[in-house]
Amino acid sequence: MKNKILALFILLSTSVCTSQKKITWEDLSKVQFTEKYFSQYDAYFLYPKFMASIKELESKQITILGYFLNIDPKDKIYILSKGPMSSCFFCGVGGPETAIELKFLSNQTFKTDDIISVTGTLKLNSDDIEHFNYILTNCVATLVK
């Protein structure tokens, strides 16, 4: 009986330790930006400095709610945004911290501006200006009704 209780305790504690952390857009706002020159583009881009609370989330599985932006389904370019397409980062309403690049495990059928809950592994990106500052890999998502 003792062994069964011990095994159950270990099983439950392991599942709690590996569960995803639910975060909000306010959590992702813990970043400061400065302009940095990139010679290959002959242009300045916003360079992020992530605060400690964000750095702690790197490589962790997180879950966040947002608006799905179907940028280019052929090339599998999908974005999760704090706001709908009409008021997203590209339209100048928010900063880079209001959008997350999504790398899904499988093809997606969501429509632009669907509200979804996405779970994936958070990657922080400071240097590759071809990608967003926040990237979720191995994503799975569900439609929020």
pLDDT in tens, 11-65: 444 444 457 899 999 999 999 999 999 999 999 999 999 999 999 999 999 999 9
pTM of the full structure: 0.82
Q: What is the CATH number of domain 17-30+57-143?
A: 2.40.50.140
What whole-number percentage of the chain has pLDDT above 70? 83
Measured between alpha carbons, how far is 27 from 35 in angstroms, rounded to an integer?
A: 22
Nearest-CA neighbor of 121 among 67, 58, 53? 58
What residues have CB less than 8 Å from 84, skipping those under 6 apart?
67, 113
